[in-house]
């Protein structure tokens, strides 16, 4: 997920924990507790994404591909990250150090906010098709949710709206309020979000805001309830989407290997896909979009994101690429850069001296952040490559 979503979820956790805990013995301590819980929540909500500091330890693009959502997004590495955050706060604030080390309600609140926000960061990032590997070092395989688009305004509205009711300063209320109202409208104007989704988001946000104004925590809790309902129905439709692909799009002569799914924002029926299949001595990668309802109900920006190779009643094919299986297996065995790259690539497309992941291709443009060029690599193999299991490991060996 992008950091706006992480931030509003983090602030919701901080505010919710503060309101549930017993009040401090005086108003000054109460106000300080709220500030520190909100501050430490928003820091922890995005802290794992500091893994970008590691991208220069490997040649491009391997550094970003293998370190982003790498070790910092594993359960075992949450502990040292939590200790780093707590140590920084203790070093920078004598008042925080005194209250936290003395235990009590503030110490409990800080512990809960740190724990929940680190766990939620990993959980939210597991929802889309990019993937994480949370169980390292016991299991180094990628985990893909294929449930949520990488930029999902549902989070902004569901968690941002009740937060407005908790803000004390009108300036912050107006800033967040305008963002919540204008962002889905702007996405709709750009044809990324249908009008029906905009109306749903604004109605949901209004309801959560009004509930939070009248209650202590009901609106904040409602954010998580709405998210659970949203993910429940997305998961139901994801299973239907896989069945639709296998029944209506995959040719009978192609053996199915894997498919990466991406729903369009705040919709249940429209799904982008990138699939990998096998036909004789070729690996077949296919990109497209389909709808479980009417294809024209999908956002126009996504329908026109790539030139259409072929169009059908309920789906469109953007591209079909073929790669010789012997070639890709040979590269996997003999080229250390390609071998390292396959530890990320879920939908590999190999052409002459370069390769890229079909999940991130837009239009006919082959160059994207996942593209690796073998003719520009140094002779020395990269060192300290993370031990992630290639998504297509069983196929490549």
In this structure, is residue 167 part of a structural domain? yes
In this structure, is residue 315 part of a structural domain? no
* Contact in structure between 37 and 110 (CB atoms under 8 Å): yes
Tens of pLDDT, residue by residue over 370-388, are 999 987 666 788 888 999 9
Q: What pLDDT is stored for residue 376 in this prediction?
A: 63
Closest to 100 (Cα-Cα) out of 46, 171, 36, 53 = 36
Lowest-confidence segment of 45-49, 116-120, 348-352 by average pLDDT: 348-352
Tens of pLDDT, residue by residue over 203-222, are 999 999 999 999 999 999 99
Tens of pLDDT, residue by residue over 292-308, are 999 999 999 999 888 88
Token pair 């994801």: residue: 238
Banded model confidence at residue 229, pLDDT cuts 50, 70, 90: very high
- The DSSP annotation for 129-169 comes to SS-B-TTTTT----B----S-SS-HHHHHHHHHHHHHH-SS
Q: For 23, which DSSP code?
A: P
In this structure, is residue 14 part of a structural domain? yes
271, β-bridge pairs: 263, 290
Banded model confidence at residue 10, pLDDT cuts 50, 70, 90: very high
Q: 61: cis peptide before it, omega within 30°?
A: yes
In this structure, is residue 133 part of a structural domain? yes
Residue 79 neighbours by CB under 8 Å, 6+ apart = none
Indicate whether 392 pLDDT > 80. yes
Q: What pLDDT is stored for residue 272 in this prediction?
A: 97
Q: For 248, which DSSP code?
A: I
SS3 of 25, please?
coil
Q: What is the rounded average pLDDT for all residues in the chain?
A: 94
Residues of the chain with pLDDT > 70, as a percent, come to: 99
Give me the mean pLDDT over the 112-122 stretch.
98
In this structure, is residue 270 part of a structural domain? no
Give the phi and the psi of residue 384 in degrees, each rounded to 5: 55, 45
| H or E element, residue 211 | helix 195-214
* Contact in structure between 204 and 158 (CB atoms under 8 Å): yes
Q: What pLDDT is stored for residue 204 in this prediction?
A: 98
Count the domains in the chain: 1
Indicate whether 160 pLDDT > 70. yes
Tens of pLDDT, residue by residue over 64-110, are 999 999 999 999 999 999 999 999 999 999 888 888 887 789 999 99
In this structure, is residue 186 part of a structural domain? yes
Closest to 81 (Cα-Cα) out of 71, 91, 69, 90 = 71
Q: What pLDDT is stored for residue 81 in this prediction?
A: 97
| H or E element, residue 315 | strand 315-324
* Contact in structure between 3 and 49 (CB atoms under 8 Å): yes
Interatomic CA distance for residues 324 and 242, integer angstroms = 26
- The DSSP annotation for 265-311 comes to TT-SSEEEEEEEEEETTEEEEEEEEEESS-GGGS-HHHHTSS--SEE
Interatomic CA distance for residues 347 and 277, integer angstroms = 10
Cβ neighbour number for residue 378 with a 10 Å cutoff: 8
Tens of pLDDT, residue by residue over 13-36, are 999 999 999 998 889 889 999 999
Lowest-confidence segment of 197-201, 219-223, 343-347, 374-378 by average pLDDT: 374-378
Question: What is the extent of the structural domain holding 180?
Answer: 3-233
* Contact in structure between 289 and 315 (CB atoms under 8 Å): yes
Interatomic CA distance for residues 365 and 248, integer angstroms = 27
Banded model confidence at residue 396, pLDDT cuts 50, 70, 90: confident
In this structure, is residue 371 part of a structural domain? no
Token pair 């029926």: residue: 269
In this structure, is residue 188 part of a structural domain? yes
Interatomic CA distance for residues 345 and 331, integer angstroms = 14
Angle at 289 between CA 283 and CA 292, to 5 degrees: 120
Encode burial over 160-171: b for 16+ CB neighbours within 10 A, e otherwise: bbbbbbbbeeee
How many Cα atoms are found within 13 Å in the side-chain-facing hemisphere of 33?
Answer: 28
């Amino acid at each position: 997920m992008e950091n706006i979503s992480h931030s509003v979820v983090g602030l919701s956790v901080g505010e919710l924990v503060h309101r549930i805990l017993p009040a401090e013995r005086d108003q000054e301590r109460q106000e300080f507790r709220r500030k520190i819980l909100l501050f430490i929540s928003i820091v922890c909500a995005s802290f794992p994404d500091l893994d970008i500091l590691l991208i220069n330890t490997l040649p491009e693009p391997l550094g970003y591909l293998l370190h982003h959502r790498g070790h910092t997004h594993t359960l075992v590495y949450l502990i040292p990250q939590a200790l780093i955050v707590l140590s920084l706060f203790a070093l920078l604030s004598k008042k925080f150090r005194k209250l936290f080390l003395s235990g009590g309600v503030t110490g409990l609140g800080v512990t809960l906010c740190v724990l929940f926000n680190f766990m939620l960061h990993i959980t939210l990032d597991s929802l889309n098709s990019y993937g994480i590997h949370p169980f390292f070092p016991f299991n180094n395989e990628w985990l893909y949710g294929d449930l949520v688009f990488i930029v999902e305004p549902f989070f902004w509205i569901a968690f941002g709206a009740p937060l407005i009711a908790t803000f004390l300063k009108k300036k912050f209320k107006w800033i967040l309020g305008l963002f919540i109202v204008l962002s889905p409208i702007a996405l709709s104007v750009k044809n990324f979000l249908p009008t029906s989704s905009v109306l749903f988001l604004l109605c949901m946000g209004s309801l959560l805001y009004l509930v939070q104004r009248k209650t202590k925590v009901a609106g904040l809790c409602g954010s998580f309830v709405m998210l659970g309902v949203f993910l429940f129905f997305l998961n139901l439709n994801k299973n239907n989407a896989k069945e639709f692909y296998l029944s209506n799009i995959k040719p009978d002569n192609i053996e199915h290997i894997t498919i990466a799914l991406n729903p369009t924002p705040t919709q249940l029926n429209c799904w982008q896909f990138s699939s990998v299949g096998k036909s004789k001595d070729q690996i077949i990668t296919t990109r497209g979009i389909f709808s479980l309802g009417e294809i024209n109900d999908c956002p126009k920006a996504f329908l026109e994101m790539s030139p259409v190779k072929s169009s059908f009643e309920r789906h469109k094919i953007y591209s079909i690429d073929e790669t010789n299986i012997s070639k890709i297996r040979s590269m996997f065995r003999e080229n250390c850069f390609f071998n390292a790259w396959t530890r990320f690539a879920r939908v590999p497309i190999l052409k002459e001296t370069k390769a890229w992941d079909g999940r991130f291709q837009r239009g006919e443009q082959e160059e994207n952040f996942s593209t690796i060029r073998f003719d520009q690599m140094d002779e020395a193999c990269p060192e300290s490559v993370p031990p992630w299991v290639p998504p297509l490991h069983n196929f490549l060996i």
